[in-house]
Amino acid sequence: MRIFKYGDDVNTDVIFPGKYTYTISDPEEMAQHALEDLDPEFVKIVEPGDIIVAGKNFGCGSSREQAATCIKYSGVAAVIAKSFSRIFFRNCINSGLLAVECPAAADRITKESSVTIDRERNRIQVDGEWIDFPPIPEAVRYIIDGGGLIPYLRKKFSEKKS
């Protein structure tokens, strides 16, 4: 598992450039441009299960959901940050990308760290030490458990019809 570490205020324009927002609709293709203007090396070396660790206000700027989608489809398992911009955080919940707000872990994790995320118990192990993070609000748990907002609603509507 590789760890990509970035700073504060990483905005959605460098995660997924605006010039692609209406020209790319396939999530796999979106993934090929993930973090393009922040770290051109990222897409060349990212592998399934890698994680992104960042500072405060990750995902600030535009509401574009592709910023969450392109990271998810690049194979990244989770983004751990000191804080997230609110629309990006919602987009993560809705697209099933694990976004963990945990300043202590974001500080402690280095590129060489060994990291394990325990989703059930809302904690992260960094180099052997457990750190708790605030749970995803109970009231929106159903979206995550349903695999994201669209799959959740699809299931609901198909149940209604049958």
Interacting residue ranges for another protein, rule: CB under 8 A: 8-9, 11, 13-14, 17-19, 21-23, 25, 37, 56-57, 60-65, 68, 83, 85-87, 90-91, 94-95, 137, 139-140, 148-150, 153-154, 157-158
Nearer to another protein by C-beta: 43 or 125?
A: 43
Q: Specify the residue, 87 or 126, whose C-beta has the smaller distance to another protein.
A: 87
CB of 100 to another protein, least distance (A): 16
Helices (H) and strands (E) in the chain, counts: 8, 7
Q: How far is the CB of 140 from another protein (least distance, A)?
A: 6
- DSSP string over 39-50: -TTHHHH--TT-
Task: Please say which residue, 22 or 120, places its beta carbon nearer to another protein.
Answer: 22
Which residue, 74 or 91, is less far from another protein as judged by CB? 91
The nearest distance, CB 110 to another protein, in angstroms, is: 23
Q: In the complex with another protein, which residue's Cβ is closer, 74 or 95? A: 95
**Pair 128, 105: CB distance under 8 Å:** no
> Cα(7)–Cα(98) distance, rounded to whole angstroms?
19
Angstrom distance (rounded) from CA 127 to CA 148? 31
CA distance 117 to 124: 5
State the nearest-atom distance from the C-beta of 49 to another protein, in Å. Answer: 24
Hey, how many other C-beta atoms are within 10 angstroms of the C-beta on 55? 17
* Least distance between another protein and beta carbon 162 (Å): 12
Per the CB < 8 A criterion, the answer to whether 82 and 54 are in contact is: yes
Tokens of 82: 């000191």
